Structures are given as C-alpha cells and as structure tokens.
Structure 1
C-alpha cells in the first residue's frame, strides 16, 4: 500500500545554517525527525528524491545522502529499490489474537516475506522436549527465518515442531501456518512470554542492528485443539519497528 506522496512545500520552508554549530547533514537529520514526531511526515510516506531535495534546500546531494543514510541505519527511514525513501512504519500486534506473521502483515496492506536461515531435522534439546511434551532426544524440525514486511527485516523466528508434523522442513514456504493448515494442523491457543533483551550477534546481523541493541524476545508455545503442543517458537523482533498491544479490562 503506497504511503502519502512528498509535500514539497514543507521542505522549501526548511532553513539550514551553514555557519551553525552542527554539520548540514545533522541539521537535516534533526529536521526530518521533528517532522516525523509532529506528524508532518506520516508512517509509510515518501520523501523527495535526494537530487530534488538538494535543489530545494540549496545543499549538496552528499549532504542529503548522509542525513538519509544515518536515519536508514537507525530504522527511521527505509529505502526501496526503484521506489525511493520512505518513513518506516511501526506495526502494532494485538496480543489477544493467535495469528501468523504473514496474516498480520497482509492485514496491514504489507507484503510478508521470509529469508530462510536454516531448515533441518535434529534431536530435541531438554528445553524443547519440555515445551513440546516430547521424550528427550525426540526428532524435531527446526526452521529459522528472517521475517520481512515489504522487504524490510522485522523479526527472526526460530520454530521447533515435532518431526511427525513437519517431516520435511524444506517443504515449508514463507508461511509456516499455511503449511500446517494444509496438513490439517491448526493451533487454537498459545502461551506467550515477552521481554526486552540485548540482540545476540547473529540476530543483530540478520536484523541490521548492532550487537547489544535492544530487541523484543518472545517465546511462544501453541497447542492443537486436543491440548497437544504443536510449536515452540523463539523470536527476536526489532523494537523500533514493532509494538505489541494488549487490551485490559476491569474484573466484572
């Protein structure tokens, strides 16, 4: 879903001071952040092309590029090949519904995707066996993926399932839940835990973060209608792009 088109008038009103205390690219960076906070730039909205913005502001294209580069590195802006630069979207995930990542992203008008990291069969660790009510050393499928929305990395999901449910991990496509549904396996409830952690080195690299940056760590065990555990998933979500929202009600 395309975002709002750039409004050139708001950019023409910007004043950058060549004799100020901050370099021009840092001044532009701060202006962009203020425009996002004030709502002048909306999530998903397009920014002017670097060449055009350099003409509007009377600065070099390198100045604009450096300002944009720093904001892209922080996850504030995103670049899309052949389309331009946009304000990053933040996603709200309700905690009261059990759904898959692909379903969530399509509901927001985004195109979900996956980059496979590993898909293997192996023996369950003690933690995995306990979560899935399996015998120690039972065979499990491990599927680790970088989950994306419109090509933007959002999370790393590492799912572990009994091998009888996923005998061939290579057969799983972008949506694990679609694969399970085709096999007549549908989770009906789940237990989920969330906490903030420092991004481990591999997860940080895959998400475009620095090691130690804060991420949301989520453990989830989902269950079939008969109560048998179906899936044990450990995920790392970019905290700067994802919010989890819970609705709370007073006791009757």
Structure 2
C-alpha cells in the first residue's frame, strides 16, 4: 500500500488538483484489487506525511471517495474500503417477496427487525387498505439484507384481520400470508427516486443524501381486497428494476 502514497506520485504541474490525484489513485487501487474491501487506510495525519500533501488536501480527496461510496468512515475506527455490493436486477412483471427473490438467486437472506406490532392506523394506511373507523393494522418494519449487505428498508402495513400476530413473521411475509390463504395475486407498484435521509442512510450503511429508490406497493387478494400496503427504500447502488415491454394489440394490428 505504501507505494500508492509516495510523494513522487503527485505532481503540482500536471494531473489536475492534488486532491483529485489522490482520489484517482485510491479509486484505481480499489478497482484493480490492490485495495480490497475491508482494507483500512492510514490515518489522515499519517497519509499526509506519506504523500507530502497537506491534511486539508488529503481530507478533501478521501471525503470525495466516501461520498461516492467507495470508502466508509467509522467513528473511532478509521477509514476503510467499502464492501463490494453486487448490483441486482429485479423483474417488475413478477409479484415476489424480497425473500423469494433473493433465494431464487441462491443468496442468503437476513432481516433486522425494527418493529412488529398491531396498532391504530395512520390516515394513509386507512386510505390505502380501505379500513374502517375501528380497524387496526399490523405494521412491520425491518432492514432487509443479503449475504450480510443491507439492501432495503421495508415498512409493510396489513389489516390486523389478515395478520393478527405480526410476530409470527420471521423471514417471509408472503409465506405467512400463503399459510393463511391470503397470498396476494396482483399488485400496483410505484417507483420514484429519493435521497436517503440520515436515519435511513445509517440503517443501509450509506451516506445521508445518496440516491435511493422509493417503492410503494399495494397488493390485492383474488377477491380484490387490499391485503398489503408496503413502502420500501432500496439502495440506489445495488438495485436495478427491469420490465419487459410488448407492443400493444392495437399497434400490432396497425403494423400488419
């Protein structure tokens, strides 16, 4: 690693600003595998001494890499190369749960529960689920991870009549619903861009303000009853959503 930070690697006359040169050298070392996920960088004072750069220049170069998600800083521990996140593609034409989707890929699924409880509904839950004045909701909030990497925050609301005991859900919500005969068969899903707030970013292990995907899903039983209202936040650096498009029947006839 010391070869990355020798003073003769940086030029005042070419290669752009010095903090950009430092940024580039570290980024290239990460991309080539010279710096591996989990490797620690020398402390700022030591890095400045090794490179001959000022601490302000070092700080600026490192902060740019933290902002891009290539480095992570842990208070009291130092600066580390961020874990490598495999980018996942999910088809929007299939109604699957997070657990089903990850297991289909052969990946390990973990949940960190934030809350599981039956409580009075919020106004938006009353509207989305079509609840009455005295109805309650089962509310589930958790961080969904795969192979140890947090990917999404999932906040699901269901009529308490459908799920009276939310503590029963340990891994797959849809598996529990299926065992009760309440597996949804269709859903309307909306996706929008979002900048992650500090609390959510911390749960996902990324910087506050980075790009994410906000997904709102309303799912239905065969009878047409709404069974699930879920709002999720996905890491923007880890997920792509894909949908297959087909020519409309009217256009097919026109083309003939």
TM-score of the superposed pair, with normalisation by structure 2: 0.72
- Residue 81 of structure 1 corresponds to none
RMSD across aligned C-alpha pairs, in angstroms? 3.5
What pairs with 1:159-238 in structure 2 (closer than 5 Å)?
159-238=156-235
How many pairs align? 218
SS of the residue 1:248 aligns to = coil
- C-alpha distance after superposition, 1:121-169 (max 9, x if no partner): 1112221111111113521100000000111110000000010111111
Is this contact kept in 2: 1:77–1:87, CA < 8 A? no
* Cα distance between partner residues in 1 of 2:144 and 2:159: 22
What pairs with 1:1-252 in structure 2 (closer than 5 Å)?
18-19=7-8, 20-21=10-11, 22=18, 26-32=23-29, 35=31, 47=36, 50=39, 74-76=68-70, 87-251=84-248, 252=252
Q: Unmatched 5+ residue regions in structure 1? A: 1-10, 52-59, 79-83
TM-aligned CA distance change 1:48 to 1:151, over 3 Å: closer
Higher-Rg member (1/2): 2
Residue 107 of structure 1: CA displacement?
1.7
* Cα distance between partner residues in 1 of 2:106 and 2:64: 27
Q: Unmatched 5+ residue regions in structure 2? A: 12-17, 41-46, 51-58, 73-80
TM-score of the superposed pair, with normalisation by structure 1: 0.73
* Cα distance between partner residues in 1 of 2:38 and 2:230: 40
TM-aligned CA distance change 1:18 to 1:248, over 3 Å: farther
